[in-house]
Structure 1
Amino acid sequence: MEEVKNFLNTIHPFDTLTPQQLDLLVSHTDIGYYQEGEEIVLNRFFIIIKGSAQEIQEDNVVEIYHEKDFFDIQALLGKKDAHFVAVEETLLYEIDKETFLEVFHKNSTFKQYFFQTISQKIDKLKEQKSLSQVGDLLSAKLEDIPLTPLYKVEASTPIKDAVKNMQHLLLVQKGNLEGVVTSSDLKKVILHAIDFATPIESIATFPAITIQYDDFLFNALLLMTSKNIKHLIVKKENTSIGSVEIGDLLSFFSNQSYLLARKVERADSTEDLKYVTDKFIQMVEILYHKGIKTRYLAKLVSELNEKVYKKVYDLTFGIDGTFLLLGSQGRGEQLLRTDQDNAFIVKNPADKQAALKKAEEFVAALELLGYPRCKGNIMLNNPQWNKTTKEWEETLLSWIEHPNETNMMYMSIFLDAKAVYGNQEQFENLKRILFDHVSDNAGFLSQMARPVMQFENPLNMFGFFRKARTIDLKKGGIFAVVHGVRVLALQYHIHNTNTVERLKEISNLGILEKSFVTDLIESFETLNSFRLRASLHNIQKGLDATNSIDVTTLNKLERDILKESFKTIEKFKEFLSYHYKLSMVS
């Protein structure tokens, strides 16, 4: 009896029952054994101890249940006509129907579980995975931790007087402008023999980099990582109320993202960089298992990857121009080191040949660091992706004038590009060519949107998986969201490249209902999370990252969430089909 109780306590929602209710169920529980192919008569509530069972409706297998999965409340309530068959030798706990329904109707929390929405199920999934740290890691704000008090001085104060009460840093006030002085700045005073009577503003850094008191700790970590600094001034509305140090955040998050960023900055060779980049996957795995949402994790990884690209650029390339990241890295959605996707805008036409020659060294260095060459050769060592501004203008106009499948793909790639080095305005002027020539062209947009319909929904018309085991998450849903949102961004002049940020702007414009956008973002997050989990599992086994997941490795709740996510994405595809009249596009 104690063994049954302990088993049930490990399964949600049985852990919500009172001790008396749990005892009642346990006292009316038997163990059933079923051979392969034997029917399981639905006169009780079943929980699989070992083995698996399949649900059959209208001669079709619609679901497979595994260890700790349970069934079937809908059948006990008379709301489903189905039968179950053991797929292999299977052991089940069998709970008496009347007793189960008695507890079901008396415990509202237990009962509500069986009728939850997708967002509620996702919350429960996080709890099941012991991700209670999600609340700490993602919802924790600067207001939740102690801040370091500020010591403020006027800009004209002599250095000697200003530093008397300094601890970690000084806040320097110069009119409405605020700056900071750190211990590193004081070293300059000694090294350069600066007169102590000199005003403190001479060694201050203006403006101080700030963050709001009600912002998230994770955003503070991102800001420090991107700016390569160790502290932030914290503001409450317009008033500076304290500072936060990198040590405070590192102790809270217990990860090495900031330290990795610093090591990238200090690297003097690709060999030094390789030592650092080899630790990226470990960092991703740690943060993933701590419950960081994939979109936030991708932001952090993107910051680190950008630093790596910039460092490799300095070490191997050095041609004056604008360096572009494309694909998932350009969108800020890369979680693991995938194929290189990059391009270059040569500033001086005289440097064109040198840029192509140096590009091979650049690409080879990235390959050494674990960033594989792009199979489609979309890299700056390819003359097609390494051009002068004038050549790029001609290329973009050519893509628009000849909208075949390949040129449409190239335009999509360019729309996701992000300039991480060089002249940002030069790049935006090029991208504006696409917006100016295409945004109002309904026929062109329809042709461009057509690929969202090329991959089949993994669910059949009854809402069940078409395949019993492996599902390609990218083809099944991720691509449709990314590309559909990309085309909408082009139509409505949204220059942000990140899919979630584009969706938020689309929502603000009233193109899609806010509630639907929330569900779509959550569904996109779910698919990316499952893809990351499968990839990390593969990498641990020495295999490559993957877009596919074996649904038999998911529990019932996870499979339900995955199905709901595909349903939401299918609704989005239906919207796109109507919006762009895709049924009329050949």
Structure 2
Amino acid sequence: MPQPFDTTSPPFNRLTPKEVKQLVSSLDVSYFRRGDSVIEQDAETTHLYIVLKGRVEELDSETKEVFAQYIKDDIFDAHAVLSGTAKHRYKALEDTLCYVLPKSVFLSLYENNPSFADYFTASFSQRKKLLEHAQKQKNLAEFILTQIDETNIQPILTLPHETSIHEATLILKKQQQDCALVSLEGKPNGIGIITRTNLLHAIVESALPTAHPIGEVATSPVISVTLGDYLFNAMILMTRDRVKRVRVTHKDHTVGMLDMTQVLSLFSTHSHVLSLQINRASSIEELAQAANNQQQLVETLSNNGIHTQFVMELISAVNEKIIEKAFQLTIPAHRHGQCCLFVMGSEGRGEQILKTDQDNGLIVQDGVDWPSVHEDMQAFSNVLARLGYPACSGHVMVNNPKWVNTESEWKKRVRYLSKISDESSLMDLAILADSHAVAGNITLISVITSTLVDTLKGSMLTLNTFIRPSLAFSVPLTLFGGLKADKQGLDVKKGGIFPLVHGVRTLALEYGLPQTNTFERLTALVQSNAIDEDTANNLTEALKLFVKTRLRQQLDDNAARNLLDVSALPRTERDLLRHSLSEVKAFKERLAAHYQVRD
């Protein structure tokens, strides 16, 4: 053979040593001249083909419709081998060399190795998960995705509401525990938590008698996770809600407690340490030092193969904390309860991993007199720039008076934007649809979210116009089903991420869904019977692949860019990228039909 066959890439890396030996010993090489037919349509297929060099086209002999092109390392036609005959014709577009594997050998491997068979029978989302799972065996990802079980939680006491501070202190000392749950009286959730520190503060700072009931000292609500959830999810909750402990439940019953010390002892990442740095920052300089560590955290998580969606969630939580802390350090304290700072775009959706442009706005309570609001917002924007968040090129920022309004003004503006259809108004409406409160009086965000839902839910005429930007950009696939990239690369944002995200956003507005995160919107759309579960799963996996592939090249190039170097991707990733873009293309076609958009 011209070169050793690579058995380390999927699906051949799933074979046992004995099966690999059987595979390699059975392979042969066939040469096809340009224009030669490799497989005829409707013919019995006797071999599986793996392209070694050249290009092969799959087409319908009668209609001449081209379905795909296959290049180096691509596999075809497993479906024909399994079904017996080829559905399409395969023709060499240039002089081509292919490895050929006899049908009998392929079927033997297929029938005796379920993991190998899954690669050829699984849907796109299943195949991507299988490939990711295989990679996790080689790195830290599987370790970090450890589930919460009896081996990594601690027992926890539950004390009655009327237990005195004195009694609780003695019980905790005797049981050698530093915290306990408390059955609260008259509270909806009925559960609180006390620590030795709480009890000490109650006596020393609040001067409460030792006979005082602990139910009136306990903190609530208690953040909870379920048995079987991921430890990584628990760490995200602790980071976001600034707690050191979470209650572990099973079928709504308490089974134990998990604290940050345990989690940190299991993980090599330092997200909670970064969170502590942010919380303790008393100046912009100290906050900047913490913010500068964020890039290192992203690289650590990414290089260790951590699941893309988990990275997005964790970094989103860290980003929120940085922005909130900057707001607290910059804006006068007496203003915090009078306004709401919100972020938009990928930050608002919780889908940004690397720092991006500032996209934020401010809601001021009706009736509040704040003469210096614009000067204060300019100072805040300057601080974010110092922390590594550059100014937005479109000026969607709080230092632009357009994005600072009272409650009544925001209601009026959202309704106004929903009634007009020029490009600028549609873009503003799309940006506002992803609004997420991060600082100040966060309840004020309902002024925007509720008005959007009330105005756009079921409004098909407005949504017919709103969806058009999602359909404007063509998916970067050739007529032959291959990846389409120019000299600069493949624009994964314009051709993949934006149409997917905006399409899902539009459906969410139609159904009046409150979620802003695309993954959560997809789940809610399935529950609302707006899309089927397979479509949601495939779009979810496609978005994660787009983000992950872009992030890896961004980290390698040390630059934020949306252009992918397709030539740098291995065959399996090219295959997944091609499938992902095909899913987006099909999704766009369904959206066009649903909203009756015609060219």
Whether TM exceeds 0.5 here: the answer is yes
- Provide the C-alpha distance between the structure 2 equivalents of 1:146 and 1:25, rounded to a whole number of angstroms: 43
The match for 1:137 is 144
Q: CA deviation at 1:582?
A: 0.7
The match for 1:553 is 568
The match for 1:228 is 242
> Which of 444, 456, 459 is equivalent to 1:426?
444
Q: Is the 8 A contact 1:439 1:445 kept in 2?
A: no
1:83 aligns with 2:98: no
Could you tell me which amino acid in structure 1 is paired with residue 162 of structure 2? S
Note the aligned Cα RMSD (angstroms).
3.4
1:117 aligns with 2:115: no
Q: 1:196 to 1:131 in 2, by over 3 A?
A: same
Q: CA deviation at 1:340?
A: 0.4
Q: Which moved more, 1:495-504 or 1:434-443?
A: 434-443
Q: TM-score, normalised by structure 1?
A: 0.86
Q: CA deviation at 1:137?
A: 3.4
Q: Is the 8 A contact 1:54 1:62 kept in 2?
A: no
The match for 1:185 is 198
- Provide the C-alpha distance between the structure 2 equivalents of 1:75 and 1:432, rounded to a whole number of angstroms: 49
Could you tell me which amino acid in structure 1 is paired with residue 215 of structure 2? E
State the Cα deviation string for residues 436-492 of structure 1 (Å, max 9, x = none).
333343222111111111101111343222337721111112111211121222222
Q: CA deviation at 1:134?
A: 4.5
Q: Is the 8 A contact 1:520 1:569 kept in 2?
A: yes
Could you tell me which amino acid in structure 1 is paired with residue 565 of structure 2? D
The match for 1:375 is 393
SS across alignment from 1:198: coil
The match for 2:184 is 174
- Provide the C-alpha distance between the structure 2 equivalents of 1:217 and 1:289, rounded to a whole number of angstroms: 19
Q: 1:220 to 1:576 in 2, by over 3 A?
A: same
The match for 2:381 is 363
Q: 1:395 to 1:83 in 2, by over 3 A?
A: same
Q: 1:120 to 1:506 in 2, by over 3 A?
A: closer
Q: 1:23 to 1:486 in 2, by over 3 A?
A: closer
- Provide the C-alpha distance between the structure 2 equivalents of 1:439 and 1:114, rounded to a whole number of angstroms: 41
Q: CA deviation at 1:72?
A: 5.3
Q: TM-score, normalised by structure 2?
A: 0.84
SS across alignment from 1:345: strand
The match for 1:14 is 12
Q: 1:328 to 1:239 in 2, by over 3 A?
A: same
- Provide the C-alpha distance between the structure 2 equivalents of 1:502 and 1:61, rounded to a whole number of angstroms: 31
Q: 1:350 to 1:178 in 2, by over 3 A?
A: closer
- Provide the C-alpha distance between the structure 1 equivalents of 2:58 and 2:468, rounded to a whole number of angstroms: 34
- Provide the C-alpha distance between the structure 2 equivalents of 1:211 and 1:236, rounded to a whole number of angstroms: 9
The match for 1:105 is 107
Could you tell me which amino acid in structure 2 is paired with residue 558 of structure 1? E
Q: 1:526 to 1:185 in 2, by over 3 A?
A: same
Q: Which moved more, 1:551-560 or 1:264-273?
A: 551-560
> Which of 162, 174, 199 is equivalent to 1:156?
162
State the Cα deviation string for residues 197-222 of structure 1 (Å, max 9, x = none).
43333532234333333433232222
> Which of 397, 402, 410 is equivalent to 2:428?
410
State the Cα deviation string for residues 206-241 of structure 1 (Å, max 9, x = none).
343333334332322222111111111222233222
> Which of 350, 355, 358 is equivalent to 1:337?
355
- Provide the C-alpha distance between the structure 2 equivalents of 1:44 and 1:209, rounded to a whole number of angstroms: 57
The match for 2:42 is none
1:579 aligns with 2:594: yes
Q: CA deviation at 1:84?
A: 6.5
- Provide the C-alpha distance between the structure 1 equivalents of 2:480 and 2:37, rounded to a whole number of angstroms: 22
> Which of 276, 281, 285 is equivalent to 1:267?
281
Could you tell me which amino acid in structure 1 is paired with residue 476 of structure 2? P
Q: Is the 8 A contact 1:57 1:83 kept in 2?
A: no
Q: Is the 8 A contact 2:239 2:272 kept in 1?
A: yes
Q: Is the 8 A contact 2:248 2:258 kept in 1?
A: yes
Q: CA deviation at 1:105?
A: 2.5
1:480 aligns with 2:489: no
- Provide the C-alpha distance between the structure 2 equivalents of 1:16 and 1:566, rounded to a whole number of angstroms: 26
Q: CA deviation at 1:517?
A: 1.7
Q: Is the 8 A contact 1:439 1:492 kept in 2?
A: yes
Q: CA deviation at 1:128?
A: 4.7
Q: Is the 8 A contact 1:160 1:197 kept in 2?
A: yes
The match for 2:272 is 258
Structure 2 unaligned regions, length at least 5: 40-45
After superposition, residues 444-459 of structure 1 pair within 5 angstroms as: 444-459=462-477
How many residue pairs get aligned? The number is 563
Q: CA deviation at 1:25?
A: 4.6
Q: Which moved more, 1:487-496 or 1:118-127?
A: 118-127
- Provide the C-alpha distance between the structure 2 equivalents of 1:76 and 1:414, rounded to a whole number of angstroms: 49
State the Cα deviation string for residues 299-349 of structure 1 (Å, max 9, x = none).
211111111111111111233311111111111111110000000112266
Q: 1:289 to 1:32 in 2, by over 3 A?
A: farther
